[in-house]
Structure 1
Amino acid sequence: MRELLECNPIIGAIKDDEDLEKVINSDCNVVFLLNGDILTLKEKVNKLKLNNKSVFVHLDMIGGISSNPVIVKYLKNEFHIDGIITTKISLVKKALEENINVVQRIFLLDSISLQTSMENIRRVKPSAIEIMPGVITKAVKRLHKEFPDLPIICGGLIDDKQEIIDVLKYGAMAVSTTKKELW
């Protein structure tokens, strides 16, 4: 997995059928399939594989797929996927048992979610993790531009003075933090 990502640092994340065609014609060799349902999935995977793309299916976002771990083995055998993406620990474990690359998606909202995520990662040891959101200052900037009169408060994972300065610079009005040293 490390070698695949080192050679392909930009991953095409497909959210609709239009994106499917665009990623096929792009330089992205790794694709995160984030849409579809059990009826259209095989066709999409086959099309991507025919165009030499490594395909990771986000199980939590495909309609008609349950969180039952048996789906992992089915997709491996029938669809020949390169990996899965999920937030569900049971699916991470099953993918690893089946020798399938698994990207565990984690949402970092605050220090508690960070701690819980680290404990889960230590316990199940996925092939890779995807951290959401990737860039918070960009979101602050967009929200401030769209809603200039609405006060924005940033909270979660604020650990030092520079992070406070950064979010304030991009339009936040205040920061909430449990880090007592910053109070």
Structure 2
Amino acid sequence: MAGSIVSLLYNSPVIPAVRTPDDFKFALTQTTAPSIILLFGDINMLPDLLAQAKQYHKRLVLHLDLFEGVGKDKAGIQFLARLGVSAVITTKAQLAKIAREQGMIVVQRLFIMDSEAVRTGIHLLSNFKPDALEILPASVPGRVVQKLIRETGLPILAGGLIEGTEDVAEALQKGICAVSTNKRELWKLRF
């Protein structure tokens, strides 16, 4: 499954994460990324954003925690699925489980602040297997990344605190598959 998720979500070490309509348009037209993480928007904009993504053969990965106007419950997730949302990212395990039931690609986001957050995250993932795990910040120590890989068996993405090429390279060296960032200058990066 990991191989198929890789090709659906990213084809380079950086996944564009967009915070504005201008960034969204740039990611659509100026990158070869197969997916774009949507960090803005509301239910009124979604049909148009999905149509634009389809026109450019891109998959939207909707960040459920930041998206406005849809209930953070089963009915809301079902509504998103009917609209054509095929991938989500969230910190909320209950939403991730519902999205999986709806056939969506699910990225579980974990904030790694201390050892307890790592233990809690591993426990959470023992009860539910998303398609990938995104950890924040990307500067998490390599030993923690390796532990998450061993314990979960999931592809690890990372985001947060990515400022330049060296941050991307460091993340990849730790075993992270790809990073998400809103820095346009990194969206076309190749290694």
TM-score under structure 2 length normalisation: 0.67
Number of residues of Structure 1 aligned to a counterpart in Structure 2? 140
Percent identity between the aligned chains? 29
| Corresponding residue number in structure 2 for 1:33 | 38
The 5-angstrom pairing of residues 123-142 of structure 1 reads: 123-135=127-139
Whether 2:104 is the aligned partner of 1:100: answer yes
- Measured against aligned partners, the alpha-carbon deviations of 1:128-180 in whole angstroms (never above 9, x if no partner) come to 111110126995x9xxxxxxxxxxxxxxxxxxxxxxxxxxxxxxxxxxxxxxx
Contact 1:105-1:129 at 8 Å conserved across structures:
yes
| Corresponding residue number in structure 2 for 1:168 | none
Contact 1:69-1:90 at 8 Å conserved across structures:
no
**Corresponding letter in the other structure for 1:8:** N
Q: Distance in 2 between matches of 1:24 and 1:89?
A: 29
Q: Distance in 2 between matches of 1:69 and 1:122?
A: 22
Rg larger for: 1
Listed as ranges, the gaps of 5+ residues in structure 2 are 142-159, 164-191
TM-score under structure 1 length normalisation: 0.70
| Corresponding residue number in structure 1 for 2:11 | 8
Q: Distance in 2 between matches of 1:91 and 1:101?
A: 12
Q: Distance in 2 between matches of 1:28 and 1:81?
A: 17
Listed as ranges, the gaps of 5+ residues in structure 1 are 142-183
- Measured against aligned partners, the alpha-carbon deviations of 1:82-141 in whole angstroms (never above 9, x if no partner) come to 2111111111111111221110111000000111011111111111111110126995x9
CA RMSD, aligned part only? 2.3
Q: Distance in 2 between matches of 1:133 and 1:54?
A: 24
**Secondary structure, aligned partner of 1:62:** coil
* Higher RCO (CA 8 Å, separation ≥ 6 residues): 2
**Corresponding letter in the other structure for 1:5:** V
Contact 2:5-2:131 at 8 Å conserved across structures:
no
Question: Of 17, 24, 43, which aligns to 1:20?
Answer: 24
**Secondary structure, aligned partner of 2:37:** strand
